[in-house]
Chain A
Amino acid sequence: MGGKTLYDKLWDAHVVRDNGDGTALLYVDRQLVHEVTSPQAFEGLRLADRPLWRVDANLAVVDHNVPTTGRANGIADPISALQVDTLSRNCREYGITQFGLMDRRQGIVHIIGPEQGATQPGMTVVCGDSHTSTHGALGALAFGIGTSEVEHALATQTVVQARSRRMLIRVDGQPGPGVTAKDIMLAIIGKIGTAGGTGYAVEYGGEAIRSLPMSGRMTICNMSIEAGARCGMVAVDDTTIEYVRGRPYAPSDAMWDQAEAYWRTLVSDEDAEFDRVVTLDAAEIKPQVSWGTSPEMVVSVDGVVPDPADEPDETRRAGMQRALEYMGLTPGTPMRDIRPEKIFIGSCTNARIEDLRAAARILRGKRLARGIREAMVVPGSGLVKWQAEQEGLDQVFKEAGFEWRDAGCSMCLGMNPDRLSPGERCASTSNRNFEGRQGGGGRTHLVSPEMAAAVAVAGHFVDVRELEQ
């Protein structure tokens, strides 16, 4: 037998028992909890009179449903307020640490986990949210679960899992200027499709991935689910170790040394075998823009809206046709001619401090183009917001005409008041362009923070590299 992949190592280290039926009981080191997918899990515990297995393994935060303005006044929507209050009540009752609405550490669950050092290399991380894959960037086994599994993890500290197949996505070489982690990931999804990773645990490797800072690695792993994979991961290296060092929940002193020594083993062995290997050349990737209603419907910014007539597969052709109708686009239209009216910079994909810096760099000293009706920046956490303000980025955004909001999921899914109206077109740094995702009838184009800033200034999609010259 050959060496082990990173996934195999993480898996093997967490098997409590082999169920002998193709599944195993996998130990959970960290469960992150948010208000939307947890109420029914706590309710289930209560009905069965079951205690938590291990209180300290859980960390809770409100993010999906929270307003991004005027927080001191509370939550206007009574149904949202009830859900947020329910989480607080459950956390109090069961003794779970929660970052509440007015806590500076509050933010999107997948931003605050790494930021606090609460998610670490070598951990199994679960959360009732599909973008839990984000934490895999630290060299962790992190995946989204449903509410029944949330309850199962709360009650037993385990989840029942079948082992996945292993896929390596290797991005060789270096991307050109203006090409970000988001563009790399959109290109990957464009290549393998939204079901390409189904049934796989994906490891991202290659020079382009190794050169990315943790923020970029998180952007990549975050969107694993858009490629169909429940988890994505990057091997531990110096970048990982330096990122974790000194964070509030990270180990310290002698415990740190012991942890670091272990974390350094979390790489795939040289002779490890993958079930599937996909390679991309970073130098060939250009800034990407999605044109349709599935994240695989992407083209380069210098491309055109594709023509369904060129698609041989009937079901796919029908899907493209429907997407074009929904998006109000005509085949052959250059992406450059598409004019969004709204800009959203935020979400667990692209709301870390590095993302805000990148967008601000494009916006500095510029103003929103005429056709842009609304533009907003929603930092990933209260601490990201605070950091950005220390650096004066809030001023750059505000002077350009952006709204500077409080942390949360916001218009990524529009559960709070931030959403698109029917027919509105948005350049968004989020991860899903599904029909109605950002608001019923809303039209989403997925882009990087740099590209979103470039659209804000130009009024249409434009290669960010032109603006920077």
Chain B
Amino acid sequence: MEPLTRVEGVVAPLDRSNVDTDAIIPKQFLKSIHRTGFGPNLFDEWRYRDEGQPGQDCSDRPLNHDFVLNQPRYQDARILLTRTNFGCGSSREHAPWALADFGFRVLIAPSFADIFYNNCSKNGILPLTLPEETVQSLFEATWEQPGYTLTVDLPAQTVTTPDGTRYGFEIDPHRKHMLVEGLDEIGVTLEHADEIRAYEQRQRAVTPWLFSDVEAS
């Protein structure tokens, strides 16, 4: 995974709360057995005026020009600004895959749904929470100033606006470490293989029925 430390980028404002993962990437694209290529279908039902099919070339599909990501000023956005409970619903990791594939590295909202939040950080995306008032002021700035950018510094845990205003944000140390170092979590866990085996050894005595190789006594 690519390490994530500092992201400076254009902000795209998605002014909706409770955006669910069905909206982020509709079900028909979940039939793919790959991890990549979901970017053109990010927010498919909002982005296009026809119904998308997996494997289809999206370049000549009719666009919904009202949808924010279709506006030229947000084409190179790397930061998505949105509202509460973003990513609710299905646990599909295709949602962060699609966001990453589109080019987003940072999501800013007052809150995220739990599973989605976890899935993001395992794919090099930083989901970052700021208070509602701050998010509101960022929305206003983004609407008013074309090309509005923010600078996110993960090691320092700050978001800086073009005029130098700086907001701090919270993130748990584990997630921060994994993202900053771009670590493979499985590799890290397997460094503790002995402890997993020791746990199993203890549990074989306590809950033997959970281990099919333990004979009934």
Please report A residues at the B interface, Cβ cutoff 8 Å: 16-17, 19, 21-23, 25, 27, 29, 36-37, 39-40, 43, 48, 50, 53, 56, 64-65, 77, 79-80, 82-83, 86, 122-123, 128-130, 143-149, 151-152, 155-158, 160, 162, 194-195, 198-199, 225, 228-230, 251-256, 258-259, 262, 294, 315-316, 318-319, 322, 413-415, 432, 434-437, 440
Contact A228 B27 (CB under 8 A): no
Given A27-B196, A146-B96, 6 other A-B residues pairs in contact with their CB atoms under 8 A: A19-B174, A21-B173, A25-B192, A122-B207, A230-B114, A434-B22
Q: A36 vs B195: C-alpha distance in the bound complex, in angstroms?
A: 31
Residues on the A chain within 8 Å of B90, using CB: 129-130, 413, 432
**6 interchain residue pairs of minimum CB distance:** A251-B209, A146-B119, A39-B33, A146-B93, A148-B122, A147-B93
Contact A146 B118 (CB under 8 A): yes
26 contacts between A and B (CB under 8 A): A16-B192, A23-B172, A36-B30, A36-B92, A53-B196, A56-B212, A82-B33, A83-B32, A83-B33, A128-B93, A146-B122, A151-B186, A155-B189, A156-B193, A156-B196, A160-B174, A160-B185, A195-B18, A199-B114, A230-B114, A413-B22, A434-B22, A434-B89, A436-B45, A440-B45, A440-B51
Give per-residue flags for B9-27: 1 if the beta carbon is below 8 A from chain A beta carbons, else 0. Answer: 0000001111010110011
Q: A165 vs B141: C-alpha distance in the bound complex, in angstroms?
A: 35
B70 proximal to A (CB < 8 A): no
Q: A222 vs B170: C-alpha distance in the bound complex, in angstroms?
A: 31
Given B207, B210, B216, which contacts A252 in the complex, CB threshold below 8 Å? Answer: B216
Give per-residue flags for B182-203: 1 if the beta carbon is below 8 A from chain A beta carbons, else 0. Answer: 0011100110110110011001
Contact A27 B17 (CB under 8 A): no
B217 proximal to A (CB < 8 A): yes
Contact A17 B195 (CB under 8 A): yes
Chain B residues 142-199 with CB under 8 Å of chain A are 172-174, 177, 184-186, 189-190, 192-193, 195-196, 199
Contact B22 A436 (CB under 8 A): yes
Given B26, B173, B206, which contacts A22 in the complex, CB threshold below 8 Å? Answer: B173
Using CB atoms, name the residue of chain A closest to B84. A195
Q: A19 vs B173: C-alpha distance in the bound complex, in angstroms?
A: 10
Contact B196 A21 (CB under 8 A): no
Given B51, B54, B88, B119, which contacts A194 in the complex, CB threshold below 8 Å? Answer: B88
Q: A60 vs B207: C-alpha distance in the bound complex, in angstroms?
A: 23
Given B34, B115, B186, which contacts A40 in the complex, CB threshold below 8 Å? Answer: B34
Contact A432 B17 (CB under 8 A): no
Residues on the B chain within 8 Å of A252, using CB: 216
Contact B93 A155 (CB under 8 A): no
**How far apart are B20's CB and chain A's nearest CB, in angstroms?**
5
Residues on the B chain within 8 Å of A255, using CB: 208-209, 216-217
Contact B115 A22 (CB under 8 A): no
Q: A253 vs B28: C-alpha distance in the bound complex, in angstroms?
A: 46
**Given A39-B33, A160-B185, residue A230 in contact with residue B85 (CB < 8 A):** no
Residues on the B chain within 8 Å of A315, using CB: 17, 83-84
B113 proximal to A (CB < 8 A): yes
Chain B residues 104-127 with CB under 8 Å of chain A are 111, 113-115, 118-119, 122-123
**How far apart are B140's CB and chain A's nearest CB, in angstroms?**
13
**How far apart are A449's CB and chain B's nearest CB, in angstroms?**
22
Q: A435 vs B96: C-alpha distance in the bound complex, in angstroms?
A: 19
Residues on the A chain within 8 Å of B213, using CB: 56
Residues on the B chain within 8 Å of A157, using CB: 196, 200
Residues on the A chain within 8 Å of B206, using CB: 262
Give per-residue flags for B58-81: 1 if the beta carbon is below 8 A from chain A beta carbons, else 0. Answer: 000000000000000000000000
Contact B51 A29 (CB under 8 A): no
**Given A40-B33, A148-B185, A149-B122, residue A25 in contact with residue B196 (CB < 8 A):** yes
**How far apart are B215's CB and chain A's nearest CB, in angstroms?**
9
Q: A8 vs B31: C-alpha distance in the bound complex, in angstroms?
A: 37
Contact A43 B35 (CB under 8 A): yes
Q: A423 vs B173: C-alpha distance in the bound complex, in angstroms?
A: 47
**How far apart are A303's CB and chain B's nearest CB, in angstroms?**
21
Given A80, A146, A254, A434, which contacts B20 in the complex, CB threshold below 8 Å? Answer: A434
Using CB atoms, name the residue of chain A closest to B189. A156
Contact A195 B123 (CB under 8 A): no
Using CB atoms, name the residue of chain B closest to A15. B199
Contact B22 A123 (CB under 8 A): no
**Given A40-B33, A194-B88, A437-B22, residue A156 in contact with residue B199 (CB < 8 A):** no
**Given A195-B85, A435-B45, residue A37 in contact with residue B93 (CB < 8 A):** yes
Q: A16 vs B114: C-alpha distance in the bound complex, in angstroms?
A: 22
Residues on the B chain within 8 Å of A40, using CB: 33-35, 93
**How far apart are A369's CB and chain B's nearest CB, in angstroms?**
30
Residues on the B chain within 8 Å of A194, using CB: 18, 85, 88
Given A56, A230, A432, which contacts B89 in the complex, CB threshold below 8 Å? Answer: A432
Q: A79 vs B54: C-alpha distance in the bound complex, in angstroms?
A: 8
Contact B199 A152 (CB under 8 A): no
Contact A228 B114 (CB under 8 A): yes
B5 proximal to A (CB < 8 A): no
Using CB atoms, name the residue of chain A closest to B90. A130
Contact B111 A144 (CB under 8 A): no
**How far apart are B208's CB and chain A's nearest CB, in angstroms?**
7
Chain B CB within 10 Å, residue with most, of A23, A29, A149, A414: A149
Contact A254 B217 (CB under 8 A): yes
Contact A148 B123 (CB under 8 A): yes
**How far apart are A250's CB and chain B's nearest CB, in angstroms?**
8
**How far apart are B58's CB and chain A's nearest CB, in angstroms?**
16
Residues on the B chain within 8 Å of A122, using CB: 207
Using CB atoms, name the residue of chain A closest to B33. A39
Residues on the B chain within 8 Å of A21, using CB: 172-174, 177
**How far apart are A430's CB and chain B's nearest CB, in angstroms?**
12
**Given A194-B18, A294-B18, residue A415 in contact with residue B27 (CB < 8 A):** yes
Q: A23 vs B172: C-alpha distance in the bound complex, in angstroms?
A: 9
